[in-house]
Structure 1
Amino acid sequence: MTDIDPDAGDGFAEQYDEPVASVVRPYTMTAGRTTSQIDVPMEATVELTGAGHDRRWPPHDPSSRIADLCAAERVSVAEIAARTGLALGVTRVLVGDLVTHGYVQLQKTLTDSTSSVERISLIERTLRGLRDL
């Protein structure tokens, strides 16, 4: 049996591959903002731009976690929230900031001309994707 030292510091979580709860309040990540400067639908997919690939991201920063996810594949805002453990509102604000700075781009999936069948199909795909996480 291995002795576990809860005061071991940073190596504890990595050693046991356990997610560590954030002690940072969500509003501090968004400077108290609850909405983004731009419309960020939860079903919109996000892709890292060239500027995002070139940027040197600080470690342990929520924006760097978002950039890492978007570098590998297009992911929806809802998926980003689920995979990072961030609240959806926080994710929307952070993604909006990244779009505004040119590090990611949004591909909106719904428009005014989207049919009911297309909307239902999108919801089903999103639910399947979230279940696969």
Structure 2
Amino acid sequence: MSDEIEWIDEEAGPVVRPYAMTGGRTRPSSTAFDLLSMVVATGATISPRANLGSQHRRLLGVVGRARPIVEIASEVELPVGVIRVLLGDLLDQGLILVRQPVTAASSPAQSLLQEVINGLRAL
């Protein structure tokens, strides 16, 4: 028997536990993150003092356009909890903006929309 470590799956690569990516943190520094919150990069320059890892930088590449948190988690194949913690770090650095989803109460009333449609048809 050889002393070499054998991978069962060649594509598995090195395994990093999610808590290692977040430094053991399980909660984001901000409560601004809803599953449907839209996140977008600000385009700000990353400070040399910013303690950002490769996953942070990967997320900045993903949020070049506004996307919901669940979509981001799906694309980078990480748990939503980990994504929230990492995005909290980016928010603290001013590198992303977070917008809450539009609630049904803040959308226009159906009667108003119907009046707009009727007005457009009248043109």
TM-score calculated relative to the size of structure 2: 0.65
Cα displacement string for residues 56-100 of structure 1 (whole angstroms, at most 9, x for unaligned residues): 8xxx811111101112x1111111100001111000110111001
Distance 1:21 1:97 in 2: 26
TM-score for the superposition, normalised by structure 1: 0.61
Percent of residue pairs identical? 31
Residues 69, 24 of structure 1: alpha-carbon distance in 2 compared, 3 angstrom cutoff: same
Aligned equivalents of 2:98, 2:14: Cα separation in 1? 27
CA RMSD between the two structures: 2.7
1:41 matched residue in structure 2: 34
1 CA distance for matches of 2:60 and 2:21? Answer: 15
The gaps in structure 2 that reach 5 residues or longer are 1-5, 108-123
Return structure 1 stretches of 4+ with deviation > 2 angstroms. Answer: none
Higher helix residue share: 1
Bigger Cα Rg: 2
**2:23 counterpart SS class:** coil
Unaligned runs of 5+ in 1: 1-5, 14-19, 119-133
Return the structure number with greater relative CO, CA threshold 8 A, min gap 6. Answer: 2
Mapped to 2, the partners of 1:92 and 1:42 lie a distance apart of 9
